[in-house]
Amino acid sequence: MAPVTIPPTEAARTVFRRLGYAISEEGSEFVAERKWRRVRVTPLCVDDAVDPESALDDEDDDGLRLRCFVTWMECTGELREYLRSAKPPYDWAIIGIEEDDDETFEVVHPDTTLAPA
């Protein structure tokens, strides 16, 4: 079981590859591309989510308007509420990864509850 203080970086890459995205390696954050979609993917812990100056900033040199935050399943609710209240200037979603099974994930959108992957 991975500690929740470590972002699920490798699990995030695995999920996007399984979904058919090409991954541009750029440290812990990366860009995932498929067809017309380019998504900036940010693996993070809930501790990162409370600091809008770090992981949640919108300072994108590449102009990406689609963002996906990947975190542990137990942190998705708090991150979703934070993003909804912050109202970032980009479209976003959250992927929640199960701590004990990084093959299992769920997608959380801004205005929905957990939706099965």
On whether residue 60 sits in a domain, the answer given is: yes
On whether residue 21 sits in a domain, the answer given is: yes
Residue 22: Cβ within 10 Å count: 11
pLDDT band at 22 (very low <50, low <70, confident <90, very high): very high
Range of the domain at 33: 9-116
On whether residue 2 sits in a domain, the answer given is: no
Tens-place pLDDT, residues 41-97: 999 986 654 454 455 665 555 667 899 999 999 889 888 888 888 888 899 999 999
**How many structural domains does the chain have?**
1
Total-model pTM: 0.81
Side chain identity at residue 43, one-letter code: P
Element (H, E) at 16: helix 9-18
Mean pLDDT of 28-33: 92
* 113: pLDDT strictly greater than 60: no
Rounded to an integer, what distance in angstroms lies between the CA atom of residue 6 and that of residue 24? 21
102: domain CATH number?
3.40.1350
* 16: pLDDT strictly greater than 90: yes
On whether residue 112 sits in a domain, the answer given is: yes
